[in-house]
Each structure stands twice: as structure tokens, then as C-alpha cells.
């Protein structure tokens, strides 16, 4: 084929090629849909954006959501304002009831009773300063083995309750006293007791002197007695050791 003829054929082919305006404009082909009853595959998850916290990328926990934090209410049933006897080692054990924000009893809560580390107070079971108790089905917890120490005065018992992520606290006020006028153990009645002892000794001495005078030398004799005057002085009572 001659070069001129070949060039003519190429030009004819270029002219026969359709232009963009002559392109077919029919509807676009639709994506095939899955048959009825067949679930379409889930799309692939998007990639996390750099810098996104891991907590936001974690999946939501299954089941019920976590219980929001709150405050427990502690109601003192027994022990508030109690007066404990140091001499007899008797005391009123604290009893509390734990309730939630809806004022309903909380069972299984952990309750801690804490006594003062020094000064007036007491002990649990002879030596412990703290005691942990679980509430029953009524939400109540009671301390056991409680006794006052040997120091008189007012003090507070700290109570703390914990259940899951909720907490609460309260304070119980009590007082230790020596029964019998507030004196130390072994000195019953205070100054009145000492006064009775002194008067009794003076009376006994006068009687013994009178008997000895009448029996002297086997004869009766008239004896003049001088009155005995007893003036009680100040009595100081120290603290027990």
C-alpha cells in the first residue's frame, strides 16, 4: 500500500470515532442486590483517626450499664449518746442501718466501726480498735465484743459503709463515766465515803476509852469525857494507774 493511501485510511478512521457528545447516555448499570432472606455483608469498619483515645474505640460493654457513683446513708439505730460504765466495763454497742439514695436498705454492704486511738474510747474483743461487719438483708450491721477503756470522757465512733462504688460515713457520740459520783474505781461514794470512815473510827475510839476507864482498878469511877471534834480536810483522788 502506498503511503498516500495509508494516510487516507488513518484519517478516515479518526473521523469515524464518536465524539464525547455522541457517547451513549443511557441509565447506569445498577449494583446487584442480594436475594430476599439473605443479609448483606456489613461494610468494612473505618480506620481510626490518628490520636483518637482508645476508650472511644472500645466496643460498648454487654449487659446493663455500670452503676453510677453515689452516696450511702447511714442511720444510727443504737449507741448514739450512750453512757458507758468504766467500773463495770459495760457499754452500748453501736448498731447502724445502711440505705441507698432511694432510702432502701442495702444488704451486703461493708461497715467499719473505728474507735479513737487514744484517750476515752473502748476496744473490740479486748484489744482491737476497728471492726468490719457486713449488713444483713435488712441493711443492718452491729458491732460485737465492745467494752469501754479505763478513761472517762466523751469520744466519737467513726462509721464507714461501702457497697460497690458507693460510700457513706457517720459519727456516733458516746461518753465513758465512773458510776458512783464520778470517782475512780475502788473509792465508792467519793468524799462522803471517806467522811463515814473517819466518823466511825472516832466513835470507836471514844467507846474503847470509856470502857477502859470504868474497868480500871476494879472500881467504878466517874470519868469526864472531852468531846472529840473531827474536821475533815480536803481529799485528793488521783487518776487510776
CATH superfamily, region 70-177 = Immunoglobulins (2.60.40.10)
pLDDT per position as a tens digit, 51-65: 544 444 444 345 444
Largest interatomic CA distance in the chain: 192
Per-residue model confidence (pLDDT) at position 10: 73
Per-residue model confidence (pLDDT) at position 38: 59
Helix (H, G, I), strand (E, B) or coil at 132: strand
Q: Which residue has the higher pLDDT, 33 or 154?
A: 154
Considering only 38-52, 143-157, 190-204, 220-234, which range has the smallest mean pLDDT?
Answer: 190-204
**Residues 214, 221: contact at Cβ < 8 Å?**
yes
**Residues 188, 195: contact at Cβ < 8 Å?**
no
The domain locations on the chain are 70-177
**Residues 172, 131: contact at Cβ < 8 Å?**
no
Per-residue model confidence (pLDDT) at position 70: 75
Per-residue model confidence (pLDDT) at position 117: 95
Q: What percent of the chain has pLDDT over 70?
A: 46
pLDDT at 35 over 90: no
pLDDT per position as a tens digit, 85-140: 999 999 999 999 999 999 999 999 999 999 999 999 999 999 999 999 999 999 99
* Helix extents (H) in the chain: 3-16, 54-57, 191-214
Q: Mean pLDDT, to the nearest integer, of 208-217?
A: 54
Q: Which residue has the higher pLDDT, 201 or 81?
A: 81
Amino acid at each position: 500500500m502506498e503511503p498516500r493511501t495509508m494516510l487516507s485510511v488513518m484519517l478516515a478512521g479518526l473521523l469515524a470515532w464518536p465524539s464525547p457528545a455522541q457517547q451513549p447516555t443511557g441509565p447506569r448499570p445498577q449494583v446487584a442486590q442480594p436475594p430476599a432472606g439473605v443479609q448483606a455483608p456489613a461494610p468494612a469498619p473505618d480506620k481510626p483517626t490518628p490520636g483518637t483515645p482508645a476508650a472511644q474505640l472500645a466496643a460498648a460493654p454487654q449487659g446493663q450499664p455500670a452503676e453510677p457513683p453515689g452516696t450511702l446513708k447511714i442511720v444510727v439505730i443504737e449507741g448514739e449518746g450512750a453512757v458507758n460504765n468504766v467500773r463495770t466495763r459495760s457499754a452500748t454497742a453501736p448498731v447502724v442501718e445502711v440505705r441507698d439514695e432511694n432510702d432502701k436498705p442495702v444488704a451486703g454492704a461493708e461497715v467499719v466501726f473505728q474507735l479513737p486511738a487514744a484517750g476515752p474510747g473502748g476496744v473490740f474483743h479486748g484489744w482491737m480498735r476497728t471492726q468490719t461487719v457486713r449488713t444483713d438483708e435488712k441493711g443492718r450491721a452491729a458491732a460485737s465484743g465492745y467494752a469501754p477503756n479505763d478513761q472517762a470522757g466523751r469520744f466519737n465512733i467513726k462509721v464507714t459503709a461501702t457497697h460497690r462504688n458507693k460510700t457513706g460515713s457517720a459519727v456516733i457520740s458516746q461518753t465513758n463515766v465512773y458510776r458512783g459520783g464520778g470517782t475512780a474505781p475502788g473509792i465508792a461514794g467519793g468524799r462522803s465515803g471517806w467522811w463515814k470512815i473517819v466518823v466511825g473510827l472516832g466513835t470507836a475510839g471514844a467507846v474503847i476509852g470509856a470502857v477502859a476507864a470504868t474497868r480500871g482498878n476494879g472500881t467504878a469511877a466517874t470519868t469526864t469525857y472531852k468531846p472529840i471534834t473531827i474536821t475533815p480536810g480536803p481529799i485528793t483522788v488521783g487518776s487510776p494507774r
